Amino acid sequence: MNTNVPHNNYRKIIHIDMDAFFASVEQRDNPELRNKPIAVGYSGNRGVVATASYEARKFGIHSAMPSSVARRKCPELIFIDTNYEKYEAVSKQIYEIFQEYTDIIEPISIDEAFLDVTENKAGKLYAVDIAKEIKQKIRERLNLTASAGVSYCKFLAKIASDWKKPDGLYVIHPTKAAKFISNLDVDKIWGIGPVTTKKMHNLGIFKGEQLQNMPLQILSREFGRMGRVYHDLSNGIDNSPLEPFRQRKSVGCELTFEKDTCNTEEIYSLLNYLARNLEERLEKADFRGHTFTLKVKFHDFKQITRSLSCSCPYLYREEILSVAKEILKSIPYEANPIRLLGVCISNSIYKPKSYPNEYLQLTLDF
């Protein structure tokens, strides 16, 4: 594959994704943890794995897995409590490297971002050269590895960064995009989850090539307005802009489950994890909000949000978990499995002393 992105009208987009970020930081800082299966997260009965090292992933351990399940899969698994203050400090260093090349940065999470380097501070012609330099600087300055994807749009840059993990670099050239997408399983295309995948299969669509050849009229009939989205993405059309930092008016986090579930015990376990995470985020951001919002996305991608406001700000895990459970009681999920839960605090009437890395608001998207 020719990895030289031409200097023409195409955008030059890089997606950077740190490899097992939390776990890699812990292994870097503690030599005794290197080359061992570790999980970052809460190890208690209702604990959930936030990040697993690559050594742990060999045992089938993954993010959002209940800690009890992870321990059964790997009795030698080492649990490390999350240290968001440390991770945010490292994340700030990573973003400082990004800013050496461009100010058009869309943060996805604490360890992941899109960069538009069409016009870049280094004056480099090829985006792949910038991606190589960023990876090298992250390794040399921080002793960590990152995977990078390069293409002309966000959709393909994201797929490219996942292609050769860990420590990968992959480029999807504009002239190679259609062929690359044609070989993808349809569930690799943005917005196509388990339910849509099944519907695609029923229509005889298993690969990108079959989706490319499906008339737009049929896709629109079967999938509504998303039919146009699937049609465009399968043909390499993605004009979505990068959205740089805007001051946030809320603090939240969410979990996309590895498998959809309607098991109440498992859902409560994940809510507990989210509540602990949100408590830490509120403290770090020095944020006080009076409105709590629970977001629930079901297996069919239908989504609802329910909010509850209080005269006193929501600050602590116990009250966050309590109100989340109370709201959840009003949501019928027994026959409608949940694929994502999100919790958020907003409606602040308190002015924080500072806004440390607000654009790095953690979104736990597993």
Task: Show Cβ contacts of residue 57 under 8 Å, excluding neighbours closer than 6 positions.
Answer: 20
Q: Rounded to whole angstroms, how far apart are CA atoms 24 and 297?
A: 30
3-class state of residue 340 by DSSP: strand
The tokens for 222 are: 């079967």
- The set of catalytic residues is 112
Q: Give the contacts of 312 (CB within 8 A, at least 6 positions apart).
A: 290
The continuous run of DSSP H or E covering 302 comes out as none
Task: Name the token pair of 211.
Answer: 């989706």
Could you give the angle at which helices 317-328 and 264-285 cross, rounded to 10 degrees?
A: 140
Round to whole Å and give the CA distance between 73 and 262: 22
Q: Copy the structure tokens of residue 287.
A: 């944020």
Instruction: Tell me how far apart the alpha carbons of residues 345 and 5 are, in angstroms, rounded to a whole number.
Output: 42
Q: Does an H or E element contain 171, and which?
A: strand 169-171
Rounded CA-CA distance 25/51 in Å is 11
Closest CA to 165 of 150, 145, 185, 181: 145
Residue type, 245: F
Reference 148, options 115, 182, 105; nearest CA is 115
